[in-house]
Amino acid sequence: MIVSRPAMIRPAGTDRTMDDAGSSGRVVACVVGTRPEAVKMAPVILRLRRAEGLRVRVISTGQHRELLDRALADFGIEADRDLGLMRPGQGLAEITARALTALDGAFAAESPDFVLAQGDTTTVLASALTAYYRQIPFGHVEAGLRTGQPYRPFPEEKNRVLAGHLAAVHFAPTPQARLNLLREGIDAGSIHVTGNTGIDALRLAAGRPVPLPVEPATGRMILVTAHRRENFGAPMLEICAALRLVVERDPDLCVVFPVHPNPAVRPTVEATLGGLARVHLIDPVGYLEFVALMRASFLILTDSGGVQEEGPSLGKPVLVLRDETERPEAVAAGTVRLVGPHRDPILSAVEALTRDVDLYRRSATVANPYGDGHAAERIVPVLQRHFGIDPGPGPGPGPAAFDPAPADPQAHFSA
């Protein structure tokens, strides 16, 4: 049984008005469609609200309906225009076509001077293409991530490549992402290395501690997220089989798994893990609650891109349930390990981290390579300069490391 949670958390002091930056200024349309986009665009939207000469408008495609709304609300943000595109069972071609038509109407109504979107979803590709059709400059946040495998992940890899070649400005999170863009012939002058806005969001959340959405059964909690299209079907069964064996073999371990509502995920997870002792299957939680879960975890298993960035920032080893990643920096640093959606590699990696305190410490104390939590403060001045507006002094070129006081790795091991 999935445990439901109450209504969303709304931080205090973030009342929204229709015109946060006044009625004048260049209009920047920020398009979001999924929960990760809402989280990673929130710091940019909040910074744009305070930017001289700019006015922000938030357009939601509703690609992830409830998850998106809750994530925006966690930062005190509401969409100015909601396109409501989500329909049960729709395919990629249908949602892409509907997104293009709906965004074209939204851009016609809002008349933005610049369009921003983050990441690699259908929303991002449609935003970039619609902006191009209307000859509006498009800025790609988190530009340059690549696996080099056209169908892994699918359709995200080609979404971000295509969006990158439609973009006028590229906000690359790391030097490696910048190199990826340069290899594709992107003009160096259009690329800005800013750090990842996901670390900005984590920095904002770090100052807002909230209770855990569930009390873990043991002190060594494994936090799990799995929802990617490439892990539907047999791979999800492999992941669940590994989790089942993990808790059966080690009574000190428990699992907390916020289960994605996708019908390709939830029935499989419930059928294989439902009712097991020390396995907590819960509904998706708000961003602030998820950060609290990450902080409390012993280690994290995920196929999410953003969690690969957030986990290392909190001093948590991350096992990635994929065979490739577009975020190689943390793998190279040693805090993230690719295990794929495969039972035996998952088991071996978990057992190694539970038994070897030195391996755990090395994995948990590597400096985060994804930025210092000030990416939005680098992105917004680029937009201001684009329109000839003096942005004033900024935080510097970055990105440096961000340390939100992660937990002591030794605390998870007996003396």
Q: Is residue 261 part of a domain?
A: yes
Q: Are residues 52 and 183 in the same domain?
A: yes
Q: Are residues 131 and 274 in the same domain?
A: no
Secondary element (H or E) of residue 75: none
Q: Is residue 148 part of a domain?
A: yes
- Say how many residues make up the chain: 415
Q: Which position has the token pair 């408008």? A: 57
Host domain of residue 97: 26-206+370-386
With 90 as the cut, is the pLDDT of residue 168 above it? yes
Q: Supply the pLDDT for residue 144.
A: 97
Q: Are residues 232 and 86 in the same domain?
A: no
Give pTM, 2 decimals: 0.85
Catalytic residue among 229, 342, 361, 362: 229
Catalytic residue among 20, 69, 74, 120: 120
Active-site residue flag, 260: yes
Q: Are residues 364 and 377 in the same domain?
A: no
Query: In CATH, what number is assigned to the domain containing residue 341?
Result: 3.40.50.2000
Distance CA 160, CA 180 (A): 12
Model pLDDT for residues 56-79, shown as the tens digit of each residue: 999 999 887 777 888 999 999 999
Q: Are residues 240 and 381 in the same domain?
A: no
Cβ-based neighbour number of residue 100 at 10 Å: 17
Q: Are residues 47 and 194 in the same domain?
A: yes
Distance CA 295, CA 107 (A): 40
Q: Is residue 232 part of a domain?
A: yes
Complete DSSP assignment for 111-159: --SEEEEESSSHHHHHHHHHHHHTT--EEEETTT---S-TTSSTTHHHH
Cβ-based neighbour number of residue 366 at 10 Å: 18
Average pLDDT over residues 224-248: 94
Q: Are residues 382 and 365 in the same domain?
A: no
Q: Are residues 200 and 55 in the same domain?
A: yes
Q: Are residues 269 and 159 in the same domain?
A: no
Q: Which residues contact 123 (CB under 8 A, 6 or more apart)?
A: 31, 32, 33, 34, 37, 61, 63, 99, 117
Q: Are residues 224 and 177 in the same domain?
A: no
Q: Are residues 319 and 375 in the same domain?
A: no
Catalytic residue among 227, 228, 278, 343: 227
Active-site residue flag, 289: no
Active-site residue flag, 156: yes
Q: Is residue 266 part of a domain?
A: yes
Q: Is residue 58 part of a domain?
A: yes
DSSP class of residue 367 equals P
Catalytic residue among 142, 157, 200, 329: 142
Q: Is residue 168 part of a domain?
A: yes
Q: Supply the pLDDT for residue 343.
A: 96
Cβ-based neighbour number of residue 244 at 10 Å: 16
Catalytic residue among 37, 69, 74, 156: 156
Q: Are residues 162 and 46 in the same domain?
A: yes
Q: Is residue 11 part of a domain?
A: no
Query: Confidence band (pLDDT; 50, 70, 90) for 395?
Result: low
With 90 as the cut, is the pLDDT of residue 347 above it? yes
Q: Supply the pLDDT for residue 24.
A: 74
- The answer to whether the CB of 86 falls within 8 A of the CB of 62 is yes
Higher-confidence position of 188 and 9? 188
Which burial class, exposed, middle or buried, applies to 385 when counting CB atoms under 10 A from its CB (0-12, 13-18, 19+)? exposed
How many domains, the chain? 2
Shortest CA distance to 302 belongs to which of 247, 226, 236, 370? Answer: 226
Model pLDDT for residues 79-118, shown as the tens digit of each residue: 999 999 988 888 999 999 999 999 999 999 999 999 999 9
At 133, list the tokens.
């059709």
- From the centroid of its chain, how far is CA 409? 24
Active-site residue flag, 160: no
Q: Supply the pLDDT for residue 409.
A: 60
Q: Is residue 399 part of a domain?
A: no
Catalytic residue among 57, 260, 280, 374: 260
